[in-house]
Amino acid sequence: MRLIRHLSDLPYDQLTDGSVVTIGSYDGLHPGHRKLLDQVTNEAADRGVPSVVMSFEPTPKEFFSAAAPPARLMRFREKFDALAEYGIDIFYCPRFSAAMRGITADAFIRRVLVHGLNARHIVIGDDFRFARKREGTMAELNRAGRALEFTVERVGSVMVEGIRVSSTAIRDALAAGDVARATALLGHPYRMSGRVIRGRRVGRSLGYATANVDLRRRQSAVAGIYAVRVHGLPGGPADGVASVGTRPTFDLTKPLLEVHLFDFDRDIYGAYIHVDFIEHLRDEERFESINDLVAQMRIDEENARLALTANIA
């Protein structure tokens, strides 16, 4: 998959015969997203043209709420890896800027979709809006398509247990600590990925060595203590207990993902791991003493082992 950040860098030789395009944030790559991507890849294969996902970095919601952006389900690398694994040919991800905010629906269609991407078929979700003040609609795309020779396909939402699957619904479930509902909406456990970095080795001094992962996001979708299952290590998945937060007992401020792996004693610094969140155990809290913290950590480990035994991979 080719990552393109600027309109002028699009591979026009690859787009000569057109493309099949979808547009959206694709945060979390939930079943609704996968339904859209299935249509995009199938249609592109039938037409013999590239499949294109267009997104923005930062996202429009982050641009408009710069002081308090919504939590991301995926950081940029995770999204890139997921789209590449899905078989998308081109990931066009320009920067969302003041100029992009002010672009009209007609200009967006002509400059970006037609001239830039040579779109011949556009696949959108049923809540899709675009351009200045979200003025662009399905009707607008259809009108332009008749004049500029492209077709538009709307894909309906996916419902799970009476809930419309969306990134917002998943964020709300995670924020409430309802990991089971988030898992049902995603179709798999919520996952964070990242590289293990060297920390302050506080956990090791307490008898609970941890693998530390930099969140690399301004807001985390999860916070607190969790039973987790970690993938990407030699020997297969490993169970553990994780903390996501600022470790208030130690007066730290930078959010961090810390994972204590059960019955595990190997050096994994530099490893790129995938942490699946299985059950929320409790919220993060400050303890009056280190002894109180260690006592709670023993309880957390016991509860995590029980939760993971009940949730065999």
Distance CA 172, CA 257 (A): 20
- 303 membership: H or E segment, kind and range: helix 290-309
The helix or strand, by DSSP H or E, that contains position 226, with its residue range, turns out to be strand 224-231
Tokens of 215: 């969140």
Query: What's the start-to-end Cα distance of the chain, in Å?
Result: 30
**Cis peptide, bond prior to residue 58, ω within 30 of zero:** yes
pLDDT at 156: 95
- Interatomic CA distance for residues 186 and 228, integer angstroms: 16
Cα–Cα distance for residue pair 250/199, rounded to 1 Å: 13
φ, ψ for residue 275, nearest 5 deg:
-105, 115
Cα separation, 115 vs 180, whole angstroms: 44
* Beta carbons within 10 angstroms of residue 33's beta carbon: 25
What pLDDT, on a 0 to 100 scale, did the predictor assign at position 116? Answer: 97
Burial class for 176, CB neighbours closer than 10 Å (0-12, 13-18, 19+): exposed
Q: What are phi and psi of 169, to 5 degrees?
A: -65, -35
Cα separation, 312 vs 301, whole angstroms: 16
Q: Quote the Cα angle for 229-230-231, to 5°.
A: 125
The overall longest dimension of the chain from CA atoms, in Å, is 72
Write out pLDDT tens, residues 146-166.
999 999 999 999 999 999 999
Decide: 100 and 62 in contact? Cβ < 8 Å: no
Q: Is the dihedral of CA 210, 218, 90, 11 positive or negative?
A: negative
Of 209, 214, 217, whose CA–CA distance to 28 is shortest?
217
Distance CA 165, CA 82 (A): 18
Encoded tokens for 185: 């909406």
Residue-wise burial string across 294-310, b where 16 or more C-beta atoms lie within 10 A, e elsewhere: eeebeebbebbeebbee
Q: Side-chain half-sphere of 68: how many Cα atoms within 13 Å?
A: 0
pLDDT of residue 249 exceeding 70, the answer is: no
Which residue has 């988030």 as its token pair?
182
The identity of residue 280, as a single letter, is H
- pLDDT of 293: 87
Q: Average pLDDT, stretch 55-71?
A: 88
Please write the tens of the pLDDT for every residue from 100-133: 989 999 999 999 999 999 999 999 999 899 998 8
Set out the domains of the chain in order of their start, with CATH numbers: 2-157 (3.40.50.620), 190-309 (2.40.30.30)
HSE-up of residue 94 (Cα within 13 Å, Cβ side): 17
Residues in the chain: 313
Sheet hosting strand 19-23, strand order edge to edge: 2-4, 90-92, 51-54, 19-23, 119-125, 151-155
Q: What pTM value is reported for the model? A: 0.91
For residue 55, what is the DSSP state?
-
Tens of pLDDT, residue by residue over 1-22, are 999 999 999 999 999 999 999 9
The reported pLDDT for the residue numbered 178 is 97
Phi, psi (rounded to 5 degrees) for 69: -70, 150
Average pLDDT over every residue of 172-201: 92
The whole-number pLDDT of residue 235 equals 84
